[in-house]
Structure 1
Amino acid sequence: MESLTLVQQLAVWALPVLLAVTLHEAAHGYVARALGDSTAAQLGRLSLNPLRHIDPVGTVLVPGLLLAMGGFLFGWAKPVPVNPARLKQGRRSMAWVAVAGPLANLAMAIGWAILLKLLLVSGAEGGMATGLRYMALAGMAINILLMVLNLLPLPPLDGSRVLGGFLPPQQAQLLDRIEPYGLIILLALLFTGVLGFILWPLYGAVDGVVRGLTGLVS
């Protein structure tokens, strides 16, 4: 992406980022409804409309600034509301609701990789074809990153909900108590470089699997 201007980079990343956060959050809501909780639907959040899920700071400002600075792309959307008490199997169902978001990102990463493979096989060059190749690469990157980031077992990330669904109740409650400090911990890990140290090997592993499944050469 180094050869692109800032405006070009924003144009390339805008659609993949919007799709990544929208379908991630929508997946939580749809699975929650299937498992007994219709809270998201009642509040109008069970939607594929990006405007329902965009957080002006987390989805627009922070990623835009980080992209402009050439740093670690990081952001968030408005969480889809889920009431665990309404789920059929409580915490166990909540684990399925939580993992739905990262799985949606994995599916999107594979979809973007298939698009990239088709573009490469077609041999199309220049203009729209080049823009779509950059966009496909961006789509793979943001979705893989969101997947591995959200699977970290740190509240309020999805990984903590997945882990909490299989822990004994007392240990799960201890994990929940970390949540008020979770974002502060996450930002501290980000700015100290520890988050990148944890994420990049996981990112590389998932990227390798996605490229292997779709026949792309790393």
Structure 2
Amino acid sequence: MDQYYSLKAAADAWCHMDVRKGDVVCWPTNLGRMMGPWLVYASLLNGASMALYIGSPLGSGFAKFVQPQNVPGIGELALGPLMLGASNTLLNADHYGVYFKGMPLLNGKVSSIEIERICNGVDSNILETAAIGVPPSGGGPELLTIAVVFKDSNSTKQDLHQLRMSFNSALQKKLNPLFRVSQVVTLPSLPRTASNKVMRRVLRQQLSETNQNSKI
């Protein structure tokens, strides 16, 4: 894939932007983003050089940087037709009828309250839950942890593994098919403020310390 991308970048620059050996290409971009690697391959593989401007290209400083060279600028004032490559069909088939049909639709960002509302309805013995993102001890993305308070304290002996599976099934079916509960813990009560709001930061700290101690 890397080899293909480099050749395509060089070919696009040669065909569509007339980049030739000895030219100087100035394309303000962050080298860590998509167009950064494009600039490197598009210029160097065609024997051209890169003109790098330090700073934002939105001010007069950039105009003074390129003006002495009297070079043409490439850009769009307005786009009417679709850009090259942005066709309505892929491989001569309808996008929505073939490729996108049946693809799961995600709702984007989901709040903790939505997660808790679904988890509260999984088991009639549950009084309330709190959905907390807990950072793993070894680093990496936060793990979704559900803190559960049961109506009856004797229910703490319930199979937490099975409860976790039930949470996963309900969340993936009703909210987001990519959600995954990593851990379920039981608490006698949730820490709250004087106005009865769940102290999620305190709960996250407690769960993080518990996970770290369990690793020792």
TM-score, normalisation: structure 1: 0.24
Taking CA–CA contacts closer than 8 Å with sequence separation of 6 or more, which of the two structures ends up with the larger relative contact order?
Answer: 1
Say which structure is richer in helix: 1
- Structure with higher Rg: it is 2
Superposition TM-score, scaled by structure 2 size: 0.25
